[in-house]
Structure 1
Amino acid sequence: MSDTETRRPPAPHPAERARTIAARSGPAALLPQSGTRTSPLLHHVHPCGTTVLLLPDSHPLVATLWQTPRAEATAMLEIADQAPVPLREPTRGLLWITGWVQALDGTAARDEVLAVADAKPDHRLLDAGNGATVLRLTPASLVVADAEGTSSLRPEQFASAQPDPFCGSEDHWLRHLEIAHPDVVSQLARHLPDQLKGGNVRPLGLDRYGLRLRVEELDSDHDVRIAFSRPVDTPKELGAELRRLMGCPFLTQRSV
């Protein structure tokens, strides 16, 4: 096996990947220890990992939490990281936050809603107290899973990391790359391992360490990371690395 097949290029730390998924705020599902899987009306993960959710007042979990004062329930929130371009398998990664969920009212609920509004205004917050109940999920542990691997995290590790600097612009950039610059994708595809050449190559992801491509074959998908020569933080640095990648990128592959 060659070095390019065994040596993995640099990638974001698991805590950074987890913070990025949380910041992107993709589709989420709440899984109470006792109850059924449900999609919250809204979720927001604070930098410390504490998560605010809105559920309809009529939801069974809300009724359960109100039955006993100060009651808490064990629950897990699953957040999906969706690719910005339409793929056969759109989920790039998953973040699971496990902890204790509590229903809030009065000042506690109002303070949480205002904190979320300050960080990320959302019209759905207006439903709090008007048909929706505010819940707070206090994390005990987190798990991030994607093509880079699966890692368990402590809340303090999550809190000490930062989201990727390009997570806010990644969607727009990758859609533009696919629609307006298929020639660039084709040039990058020349550096794929021989066994993957001929598959349908799609832009999958961008972070400060490099680009990711998805190769869709007849019966399987493969994610390939093409590393930058160094981590980048600005659009100017990103442009320089993209021009360099038209040369001889350093890559490895991982099947998904």
Structure 2
Amino acid sequence: MRPSPAEIVRTLVAGRLTGLVHLACWPGLHQVRHVTDPDGRVLLLVPVVSDLAAALRAAGDDRPLAVVLDVLDLPPAAGAPSLGRALVSGWVRQLDGDEARAAALDFAAVEPTGDLLDVGTRFRLFRFEVAEARWDRAGVLRRVDPEAYAEAEPDPLHPVEAVLLADLADHHADRMAGYLRQRLGLAAGPAEEAPRVERLDRYGMVVSFGRPGARQRARLPFGRPLAGHDELARLLYSLLYPRTSN
């Protein structure tokens, strides 16, 4: 079991990673604060005084404006594999009144920034439904069906993945290495060859093992999708401390 392309794209554009916006027929890329609402629609929080706001005003005065949001994964540790890059596009419009207030609540559910209190004065909220979604990994570009994207859910572990991996490395490294050796059928070896977890998601973990400079990777599934951090903690405790978890 592993995340589908639609789930990976939803995870990448959820709002935890830096996004860049390209406006159709308008030069340049603009860094933007963004999230996705429960339906997968993209919300952009744009300062009124900014290059992006000026470009949106200039390009969108008299016609619908096509935009592309470009989000690159940031691996949780050096050497860990990347989830790749997500590109989603649609027709953007500014939100006002009740729509802006409802969208601000959706934004706050992902990123509770105080700047949302200034929507309508110092900031504007824009939104677009995803009409096209693509996933780029290792130079292979895949199209994702927009309906599949809308129905998918962001991975609940992605926002805390780096913290979870650091905790495993700092406090449970020996037990995790022993468990992974057993799971992978590896004999005991030098510490530098010990298997370690490089990525975590709701479906499983990506593990590296072998000699430095020639390490290999394997994916180990959990057996069922996890609902979040608490469920992962219980599962890992039962795996690493089986005698005390009964």
Shift of 1:51: 0.8
Q: Is the 8 A contact 1:24 1:168 kept in 2?
A: no
Q: Which residue of 1 aligns with 2:28?
A: 36
Residue 3 of structure 2 aligns to a residue whose secondary structure is coil
Letter in 2 for 1:239: L
Q: Which residue of 2 aligns with 1:171?
A: 162
Is residue 77 from structure 1 mapped to residue 74 from structure 2 by the alignment? no
Letter in 2 for 1:177: L
Q: Which residue of 2 aligns with 1:47?
A: 38
1:238 maps to which of 225, 235, 238: 235
**CA distance in structure 2 between the aligned counterparts of 1:160 and 1:139, rounded to whole angstroms:** 12
| Unmatched tracts of structure 2, length 5 or more | 242-246
Q: CA RMSD in A?
A: 3.8
2:218 maps to which of 204, 224, 237: 224
Is residue 16 from structure 1 mapped to residue 13 from structure 2 by the alignment? no
Q: Is the 8 A contact 1:177 1:184 kept in 2?
A: no
**CA distance in structure 2 between the aligned counterparts of 1:110 and 1:216, rounded to whole angstroms:** 53
**CA distance in structure 2 between the aligned counterparts of 1:123 and 1:90, rounded to whole angstroms:** 34
TM-score, normalised to structure 2's length? 0.72
Q: Deviations over 1:191-211 (max 9, x none)?
A: 499xxx967965322123211
Shift of 1:218: 7.7
What is the 5 A alignment of 1:49-128?
Answer: 49-67=40-58, 69=61, 71-84=63-76, 86-88=77-79, 91-118=82-109, 120-128=111-119
Is residue 151 from structure 1 mapped to residue 145 from structure 2 by the alignment? no
Q: Deviations over 1:19-56 (max 9, x none)?
A: 3333462121112232211211x211113221111223
Distance change in 2, residues 1:101/1:146 (3 Å): same
Distance change in 2, residues 1:112/1:164 (3 Å): closer
Is residue 181 from structure 1 mapped to residue 172 from structure 2 by the alignment? yes
Shift of 1:177: 0.7
Q: Is the 8 A contact 1:66 1:103 kept in 2?
A: no
Residue 95 of structure 1 aligns to a residue whose secondary structure is strand
Q: Deviations over 1:184-234 (max 9, x none)?
A: 4544368499xxx96796532212321113579988986532223444443
Question: Kindly, what percent of the aligned residue pairs are identical?
Answer: 28
Q: Deviations over 1:72-95 (max 9, x none)?
A: 3222112233233x3156743322
**CA distance in structure 1 between the aligned counterparts of 2:80 and 2:61, rounded to whole angstroms:** 43
Q: Is the 8 A contact 2:30 2:51 kept in 1?
A: no
Shift of 1:145: 3.8
| Unmatched tracts of structure 1, length 5 or more | 1-9, 245-256
Q: Which residue of 2 aligns with 1:7?
A: none
Distance change in 2, residues 1:114/1:166 (3 Å): closer
Count of paired positions: 231
Q: Is the 8 A contact 1:104 1:134 kept in 2?
A: yes
1:141 maps to which of 129, 132, 138: 132
Letter in 2 for 1:74: A
**CA distance in structure 2 between the aligned counterparts of 1:215 and 1:29, rounded to whole angstroms:** 35
Is residue 213 from structure 1 mapped to residue 213 from structure 2 by the alignment? no
Shift of 1:113: 1.8
**CA distance in structure 1 between the aligned counterparts of 2:15 and 2:137, rounded to whole angstroms:** 15
**CA distance in structure 1 between the aligned counterparts of 2:119 and 2:217, rounded to whole angstroms:** 40
**CA distance in structure 2 between the aligned counterparts of 1:55 and 1:24, rounded to whole angstroms:** 14
Q: Is the 8 A contact 1:101 1:135 kept in 2?
A: yes
TM-score, normalised to structure 1's length? 0.70
